[in-house]
Amino acid sequence: MSGASTVGGTPPPGRPGATEPAGRLEAAIRRRFAGRRCVVFSTAASHIAPVIAALTEAGADGVFAATADRAADGVFGPGVTPHRVPVTAATRDGLAASFTRALAEPSPGLLAALDRFDPDRRALVLDTRDLPGERLAGRPRYGRRRATWAAAEDKTRVERVWRAAGIPCPPSLVLPPRADVLLPAAARLDAGGGTVWAADTRSGIHTAAEGTRWVRGEADGRRNLPFFAERCSRVRVMPFVEGLPCSVHGLVMTRGTVVLRPLELVVLRDADHRFVFAGTSTHWDPPPGAARHIRETARAVGEGLRRVCRYRGGFTLDGVLSPEGFVPTEVNARLGSGLNLGTSRPDLPLDLLNRLIREGDDASLAPRELESEMLDALDTVRGANVKILLAQHPPHYGSVALLWSDGRWRRCAGDRPATAVLSTERSGIGDVMRLRLAPDALRGHPVSDRAVAAFRLGRDALGVPVPELTAPHW
């Protein structure tokens, strides 16, 4: 079924011109949220603006939006009650952890604001935190991630998912963070490029490569040992694989598993060989055979998650596409970042679909039809979200338009359309340098090497100290 299909040539119930899968999803969302008050939590207002718009359109009886940033003004429309949860942190994972603690023990101010909005405490709470229990602040949680599902994300336990999926996986060892066992193991597994060490989730789930290190030799291992000893009880060690980091999203639904197109993980390296997660891009097209294999692997992983822990909802399979093929490295038992469905198909709100699936309210939805719609949309409209954290404040906040020409970036002059805009900005985790690509600007190509070149240019064009970064060899 194509993205333009309708039922018998007539649009299904819902918005005019809606396709059949979109109409069914809209009806399922209305059944759950129409006439209900909703409470939505997120560290950033921009993250939940599409969710709130979809709830409002579905007929929700008001939305309470609690965020960690100050950017709520003008982001939400009428009928939304904004509230700021004042937490800060230096890293993405740190901000998420601080926000989770603030929800686990709500402040008197937050509780009072919730009671003013929802005095009978019947509102549905849509939070993305890994908190225990079916209620938050006395209200029912909808679409929460169960503890057994979150456990599947522990990088030191991922082999059980590989086994359940029936897919080959790279050699690895899981060991305590002690020099006498880790260093000899790393030496045995090193295939010439070093090893990758990944922490368990004792200190919480880690994202954006914050709990992962590329270790090259014994001296490097000893330098990294204190980091792991402080935060985890177990470390997974596997050989480093050179290639392009990538990820593919899936949805384990009641009637089957949806698998979408692979996207690029923009994972750069600094001068100390540390991974720097700079974002994601859907501009990249993997070779057709590789794309097919990655998607088949992801579908097997989704069904493996279903068998391992009765999983329901979104997940991502991450890995590296090397010259020898795709190597799976980890599973994230949650929706990932990087998809730009909100841009091309706002009538397919992925966040609310994920919540319906988690609660088993998706029986009326056909996975293959949704998959076809989403694949069409993702292929049509490409996007990227690329940024790096700056170690110090820039001399000023500004931007410069760039043109990609003859294999290099140039400052865009005259009336030529820009390929990208490079800017310095404030964010919830500090100052960042961001690269915004024009839609379809680099269709088919990896972004990592171009991002490195843009950040280098930014040192001169914007006068900002930028770390020396390199891209994966691909």
Is residue 66 located within the same domain as residue 117? yes
52 located within any domain: yes
27 located within any domain: no
Is residue 133 located within the same domain as residue 205? no
- Tell me which of 191, 218, 240 is where a domain ends: 240
- Tell me which of 240, 270, 287 is where a domain ends: 240
Q: What is the residue range of 433's domain?
A: 384-461
Is residue 129 located within the same domain as residue 225? no
105 located within any domain: yes
How far is Cα 320 from Cα 322, in angstroms, rounded to an integer?
6
300 located within any domain: no
User: Is the per-residue pLDDT at 333 higher than 80?
Assistant: yes
Residue-wise pLDDT tens digits, 237-266: 999 999 999 999 999 999 999 999 999 999
Is residue 49 located within the same domain as residue 130? yes
Is residue 129 located within the same domain as residue 224? no
User: What sign does the CA torsion over 120, 126, 127, 133 have?
Assistant: positive
Is residue 140 located within the same domain as residue 178? no
Is residue 87 located within the same domain as residue 182? no
Extract the runs of DSSP E, i.e. beta strands, from 132-274: 135-136, 139-140, 173-175, 195-199, 212-215, 235-239, 244-253, 256-259, 263-269
At 451, list the tokens: 């991002």
Determine the pLDDT at residue 68: 86
- Tell me which of 240, 272, 289 is where a domain ends: 240
Residue recorded with tokens 């001399």: 395
Is residue 40 located within the same domain as residue 123? yes
DSSP assignment of 8-39 equals TTBPPSSSTT--HHHHHHHHHHHHHHTT--EE
Is residue 122 located within the same domain as residue 193? no
Residue-wise pLDDT tens digits, 275-284: 999 999 999 9
446 located within any domain: yes
The alpha carbon torsion through 186, 190, 193, 194 (nearest 10 deg) reads 0
More reliable by pLDDT, 31 or 343: 31
Residue-wise pLDDT tens digits, 45-93: 888 888 999 999 999 999 999 988 766 566 787 889 999 888 777 677 7
| Enclosing H/E stretch for 330 | strand 325-332
CATH code for the domain of 229: 3.30.1490
- Let me know the angle formed at the C-alpha of 459 by 453 and 465, rounded to the nearest 5 degrees: 120
424 located within any domain: yes
Is residue 451 located within the same domain as residue 401? yes
Is residue 137 located within the same domain as residue 231? no
Residue 88's identity, in one-letter code, is T
263 located within any domain: no
Which residue(s) pair with 65 in the sheet?
40, 82
SS3 244: strand
State mean pLDDT over 285-307. 96
Residue-wise pLDDT tens digits, 155-180: 888 889 999 999 998 899 999 999 99
Read off the pLDDT band of 207 (50, 70, 90): low
Q: What percent of the chain has pLDDT over 90?
A: 66
Least confident of 198-212, 262-276, 425-439: 198-212
48 located within any domain: yes
The three-state DSSP-derived secondary structure of 208-236 is CCCCEEEECCHHHHHHHHHHHHHHCCCEE
Q: What percent of the chain has pLDDT over 70?
A: 93
Determine the pLDDT at residue 169: 86
Residue 320's identity, in one-letter code, is V
How far is Cα 442 from Cα 420, in angstroms, rounded to an integer?
10
Determine the pLDDT at residue 458: 87
Q: Under a CB-based contact definition with an 8 Å cutoff, are residues 105 and 136 in contact?
A: no
CATH code for the domain of 126: 3.40.50
Is residue 121 located within the same domain as residue 220? no
Determine the pLDDT at residue 11: 35
How many domains does the chain contain in total? 3
